[in-house]
């Protein structure tokens, strides 16, 4: 009999047959634990508990399952009168077991699924069903400050690897009865728990169905991280731009849900996805909303400048120095020329080598243990940089340009968005070095047209700037004060009001 | 035709499709023929454009789901449609030459004199095709960015030039006579014709037909205003005599503008901010030529025609710009003779045909697939 047919079978009435079948299905895995016993130590009802070691809370099993079932002191009179399997099932669920959540299943497929999910299965001889006891409990990392998306002011809790802990972190922030969580499993073998979260009535009409449809379309053996999901539901799978946002911050995800978005939680990863995503959100941080709005707007403005520098500074420098020297003010042009006097490399090659060296140092610093990583960065950037300039291999101004570009790219809060911008920088740089302004303009416009053509779950990626929505400009380049942001984003149709009108504070008259 | 873009996007496209050529190459020609009256010529031409645009919108409103070519087919059959489509294709072919003069000479004469001409033409055409492949909606979004760029460029140029502005350069007004000023409008009329004939083709793609007239009029006035700043500055700062010496008069304006020591020689700023407008011209011209070609051939699939049409327009554009003297002769003397009859004749003929064959514009016919 093949595996599918074996799994589709109903559980047997006899305990021994069931145990044999489980053994056939799971093999002799060393972490599968079987505990045989007689209910109430009465030889009439033989039973076996099966669970996977490490996935269950053994204390819970002991206190809520084994203890009540092995208790000799209780009145056993009613047990001896039971003959039908339904009566046994009712007695177990309603009179004997203390565990809060019990389900009955009748196929081996369900039994195996529940066992692998960390639940305990109770087989009782002569009973046509078996009982699934919710005993999930494994060691998890404690809630800590997220490694990415750090803030100066704001909550310090970050998502962990447990989907339930993560949904609870968001649920704590959204005490709305209309908050909805829908769960599903993806991965033929991994059976990874995935959940989507949204607020009914606030979420854009049709978005939940669209998300579910895309998730249900995924056919893969295993999902190990949310990026697996991201790549399957992405609107632009071949684009360097990210049209799905991932975050470790529960406050960021909750804020997105309040704005009508859908969050996608994936078990075993602290990165929760948020859709639809607009490009500009990658330049925003949670701090923007937690600090005074002038400060929030100023830092956001700085990040926009950082984005432009990160994307274009090396290309503009190479373009001007190679082809359009007359555009550089004379004193600056002389300084640049003096610095490059002994450099043997063409400027494009010099820029490419420096950019690649910077990326190398960044990657090395990231992969090393933290303390060594810092040392590598310092040695790389200071000592090698200084030596390269003194040896005449690179010009000092090129070091300044590349370092400024690197620092600007680190100012982009979302690490992965920053990497995608760094990727785009290289073709623009090469085109600028080969064809000057023509190359720069051509590749830049191609990238721009590409970005303009992108959508994230039906919404233009560059919205609300392109297409322009005047009502949404209160949270794009500048962050308006909370008392001025009366409405949610324009695409939230059902409940557009976020707050009451005229809440600007003023001294009492 | 499926609605795809908003009226605001239409407004942005109209402004962009006229701006890039009108502020530089056209103004240089006008300066040579009308001298200090170039700003008056620009105003007159904008008024002509307003008139033709209103007529075009009225024509399309009769059959809001069909463009001017489909409406012609409805009125006089497929041969009439093919004739008008041929005229439109000829217009956009010629207009592409003018656009290439604008784009290539801005870059080649001021930045990259050693780069072969065909590289400019090929790259610009490829980017244009890429834009069309992404769809009208994407071009329209790019046009919105183009309008922002135009506003920034105008403000920067204004700030960088006002110190040298001399009101005496405007006197005497109408120095070459009223009729000369009206006659010279043909150069700028040909620019506005790109907008009106484009609208005749793409208007059915625009949502909310009740706002078509309002937004197209607004686009003409705003676009005219953005363009008008240039001849005024060219007269007041450069003087018409100097402006007339250059093929690309606006670049000479930009070169002389400065704000302090470090923001000087605006050529780069100029190209960065006007590039989107120039590319919108390229994309819309390619798109409209492709749609016209589709109506000439009678096919259904536009995508198959994009590359051949781009090759035809590209080769023509290269032939035009490869020789400066030929380019300027064609643009100054021959292009208005081709463009003006098409600009005025196409809308007027179709408008009159609509009157004559009014019965053919019944609801039953309008619903028939084109």
According to the model, what pLDDT value does residue A179 have? 93
- Cis check for the bond before A464: say yes or no (omega within 30 of 0): yes
Contact (CB, 8 A) for B52 and B192:
yes
CA distance B76 to chain A (A): 38
Each residue's pLDDT, cut to its tens digit, for chain B (370 residues) gives 465 899 999 999 999 999 999 998 898 999 888 888 899 999 999 999 999 999 999 999 998 989 999 999 999 988 999 999 999 999 999 999 999 999 999 899 888 899 999 999 999 999 999 999 999 999 999 999 999 999 999 999 888 888 888 888 888 888 888 898 898 899 999 999 999 999 999 999 999 889 999 999 999 999 999 999 999 998 888 888 888 888 888 888 888 888 776 677 778 888 888 889 999 999 999 999 999 999 999 877 888 899 999 999 999 999 999 999 999 999 999 999 999 999 999 999 999 999 888 887 776 566 665 5
List chain B residues with CB under 8 Å of A436: 111-112, 115
How many degrees, rounded to 5, is the angle at CA B281 between CA A430 and CA B347? Answer: 165
Least CB–CB distance from A452: residue in B115, B123, B138: B138
Q: Which residue of A has its CA nearest to B262?
A: A329
**Distance between alpha carbon B183 and the CA centroid of its chain, in Å?**
19
Cβ-proximal residues to A470 (8 Å cutoff; 6+ apart), any chain: none
According to the model, what pLDDT value does residue B134 have? 92
Tokens 């059915």 correspond to B204
CA distance B182 to chain A (A): 37
Distance CA B94, CA B90 (A): 6
CA dist list (Å): A182 to A199, A212, A373, B111, B310: 11, 9, 41, 59, 50
CATH number assigned to the domain with residue range B7-353, chosen from the 4 options 1.20.1740.10, 1.20.1630.10, 3.40.50.300, 3.40.1350.10: 1.20.1740.10
Write down the domain spans for chain B: 7-353
| A245 or A98, higher pLDDT | A245
Contact (CB, 8 A) for A160 and A141:
yes
For residue B322 the two structure tokens come to 């490869």
Mean pLDDT for chain A overall: 88
Distance CA A161, CA A163 (A): 6
> Which H or E run contains A88?
helix A85-91
3-state DSSP assignment of residue B276: helix
CB-based contact A466 B264, cutoff 8 Å: no
How many Cβ atoms sit within 10 Å of the Cβ of residue B352? Answer: 11
Pairing, β A459-460 against β B263-264 = unpaired
Q: Which residue of A has its CA nearest to B105?
A: A438
Tokens 């120039």 correspond to B278
CB-based contact A445 B261, cutoff 8 Å: no
CB-based contact B271 A437, cutoff 8 Å: yes
């Amino acid at each position: 009999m093949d595996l599918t047919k074996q799994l589709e079978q109903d559980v047997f009435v006899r305990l021994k047959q069931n145990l044999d079948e489980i053994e056939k299905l799971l093999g002799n895995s060393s972490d599968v634990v079987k505990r045989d016993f007689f209910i109430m130590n009465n030889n009439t009802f033989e039973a076996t508990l099966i669970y996977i070691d490490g996935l269950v809370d053994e204390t819970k099993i002991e206190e809520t399952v084994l203890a009540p079932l092995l208790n000799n002191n209780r009145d056993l009179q009613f047990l001896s009168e039971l003959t039908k399997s339904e009566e046994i099932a009712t007695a177990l669920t309603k009179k004997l077991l203390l565990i809060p959540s019990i389900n009955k299943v009748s196929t081996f497929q369900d039994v195996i699924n529940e066992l692998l999910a960390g639940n305990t299965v109770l087989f009782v001889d002569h009973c046509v069903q078996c009982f699934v006891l919710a005993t999930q409990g494994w060691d998890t990392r404690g809630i800590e400050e997220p490694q990415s998306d750090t803030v100066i002011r704001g909550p310090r809790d970050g998502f962990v690897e447990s989907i339930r802990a993560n949904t609870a972190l968001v649920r704590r922030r959204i005490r709305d009865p209309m908050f909805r969580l829908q769960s599903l499993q993806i991965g033929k073998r991994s059976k990874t728990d995935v959940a989507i979260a949204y607020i009914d009535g606030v979420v854009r009409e049709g978005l939940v169905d669209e998300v579910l449809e895309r998730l249900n379309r995924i056919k893969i053996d295993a999902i190990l991280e949310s990026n697996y999901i991201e790549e399957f539901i992405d609107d632009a799978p071949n684009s360097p731009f990210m049209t799905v946002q991932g975050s470790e911050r529960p406050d960021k995800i909750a804020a997105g849900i309040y704005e009508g978005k859908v969050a996608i939680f994936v078990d075993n990863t602290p990165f929760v996805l948020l859709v639809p995503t607009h490009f500009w959100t990658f330049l925003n941080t949670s701090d923007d909303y937690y600090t005074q709005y002038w400060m929030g707007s100023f830092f956001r403005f700085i990040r926009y400048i950082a984005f432009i520098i990160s994307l274009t500074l090396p290309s503009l420098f190479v373009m001007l120095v190679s082809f359009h020297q007359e555009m550089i003010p004379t004193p600056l042009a002389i300084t640049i020329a003096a610095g490059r006097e002994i450099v043997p490399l063409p400027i494009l090659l010099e820029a490419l080598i420096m950019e690649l060296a910077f990326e190398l140092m960044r990657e090395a610093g990231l992969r090393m243990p933290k303390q060594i990583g810092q040392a590598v960065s310092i040695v790389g950037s200071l000592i090698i940089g200084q030596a390269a300039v003194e040896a005449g291999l690179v010009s000092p101004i090129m070091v300044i340009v590349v370092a400024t570009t690197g620092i600007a790219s680190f100012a982009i809060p979302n690490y992965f968005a920053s990497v995608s911008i760094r990727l785009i920088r290289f073709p623009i740089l090469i085109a600028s070095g080969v064809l000057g302004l023509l190359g720069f303009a051509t590749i830049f416009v191609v990238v721009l047209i590409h970005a303009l053509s992108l959508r994230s779950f039906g919404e233009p990626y560059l919205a609300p700037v392109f297409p322009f929505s005047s009502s949404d400009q209160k949270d794009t380049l500048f962050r308006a004060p909370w008392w001025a942001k009366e409405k949610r984003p324009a695409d939230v149709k059902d409940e557009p009001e976020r707050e009451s009108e005229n809440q600007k504070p003023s001294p009492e008259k | 035709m499926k609605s795809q873009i908003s009226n605001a996007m239409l407004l942005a496209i109209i402004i962009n499709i006229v701006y890039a050529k009108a502020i530089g190459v056209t103004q240089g020609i006008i300066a040579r023929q009308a001298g200090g009256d170039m700003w008056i010529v620009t105003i007159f031409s904008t008024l002509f454009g307003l008139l033709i645009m209103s007529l075009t919108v009225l024509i399309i409103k009769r059959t809001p789901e069909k463009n001017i070519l489909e409406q012609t087919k409805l009125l006089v059959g497929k041969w009439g449609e093919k004739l008008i489509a041929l005229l439109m294709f000829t217009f956009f072919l010629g207009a592409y030459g003018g656009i290439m003069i604008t784009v290539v000479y801005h870059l080649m004469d001021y930045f990259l004199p050693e780069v072969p001409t065909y590289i400019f033409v090929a790259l610009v055409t490829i980017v244009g095709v890429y834009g069309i492949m992404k769809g009208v909606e994407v071009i329209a979004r790019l046009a919105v960015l183009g309008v922002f760029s135009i506003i920034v460029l105008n403000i920067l140029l204004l700030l960088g030039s006002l110190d040298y502005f001399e009101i005496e350069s405007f006197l005497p007004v109408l120095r070459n006579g009223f009729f000369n000023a009206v006659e010279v409008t043909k150069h700028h009329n040909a620019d506005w014709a790109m907008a009106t004939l484009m609208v005749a083709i793409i208007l059915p793609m625009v949502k909310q037909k009740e706002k078509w007239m309002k937004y197209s009029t607004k686009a003409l006035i705003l676009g005219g205003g953005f363009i008008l700043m240039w001849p005024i500055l060219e007269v007041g700062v450069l003087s018409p005599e100097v402006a007339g010496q250059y093929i690309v008069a606006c670049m000479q304006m930009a070169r002389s503008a400065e704000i302090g020591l470090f923001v000087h020689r605006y050529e780069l700023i100029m190209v960065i901010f006007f590039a989107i407008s120039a590319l919108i011209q390229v994309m819309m011209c390619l798109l409209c030529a492709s749609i016209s070609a589709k109506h000439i051939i009678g096919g259904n699939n536009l995508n198959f025609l994009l590359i051949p049409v781009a090759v035809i327009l590209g080769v023509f554009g290269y032939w035009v710009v490869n020789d400066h003297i030929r380019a300027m002769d064609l643009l100054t003397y021959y292009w208005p003779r081709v463009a003006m009859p098409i600009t005025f004749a196409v809308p007027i003929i179709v408008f009159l045909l609509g009157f004559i064959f009014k019965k053919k514009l019944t609801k039953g016919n309008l619903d028939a697939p084109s």
